Amino acid sequence: MSIFSLITGRPGPSGFGSASTAEQVTEGIDASNLTAIVTGGASGIGLETARALALRKAHVIIAARNMESANAAKQLILKDNETARVDVLKLDLSSMKSVRAFVDDFNALNVPLNILINNAGVMFCPFQLSKDGIEMQFATNHIGHFLLTNLLLEKMKNTARSTGIEGRIVNLSSIAHNYTYEHGIRFDRINDESGSSTGVHHLSMEECTSGSIHDLLRRTPPKFERCYWKVLSGLQ
């Protein structure tokens, strides 16, 4: 998408542009046979994504760190759509223990999984380490989503086999990954506080997450043969 198209809202090849709404994009879709997880679904783009999917009758799982906000998001969706199927589960992506607990809680629901939308993320936050001793942005934006995707892959593959419906994994990003270190991701400096203060860590995390999950899915036959990375919320 060019800057001109972004500003003017001019539709691209898909027929949609920056001015298109979630309801317009999903109009006419019957998702009643689909289950979707949306990380960070309690606010912003995640909430609107969850709302639109629920409107199209999908079973939506809002995965969020703040359960109060997640439950408020659920009630907001139900207020406009009383028949919406929405569940909320706690997920702190900065904690590998929390990610594993979320997957256990989701599996306990005994429902299929067709769609995983990795939307949650933090950026430009003060330097701190996660409970696992990893820089917070790297832990949340990359490690958490990568582990989550790995742990849910088998469920998605089984769903695809049993239903004949190809699964979808969407990683939300932006153009920020284009402005990281010129020589690539500095894995030896992930926990470097000086890099965090400049914001370069955030840019690297976007590049790392999109690329690594793309490579993971390319190695996962047969239901994830077509992998498209860099699904962006900004310019391309």
232 pLDDT more than 80: no
pLDDT of residue 233: 44
Q: Which domains does the chain have, with CATH numbers?
A: 1-30 (no CATH), 121-236 (3.40.50.720)
How many angstroms separate the CA atoms of 68 and 73, rounded?
9
For the stretch 34-77, pLDDT in tens is: 999 999 999 999 999 999 999 999 999 999 999 999 999 999 99
Global confidence as pTM = 0.80
178 pLDDT more than 70: no
Helices 44-55/67-80 angle, 10° precision: 40
190 pLDDT more than 70: no
Residue given tokens 């256990």 in the structure block: 104
142 pLDDT more than 70: yes
Helices 200-218/145-163 angle, 10° precision: 30
* 4 CB burial (10 A radius; 0-12, 13-18, 19+): exposed
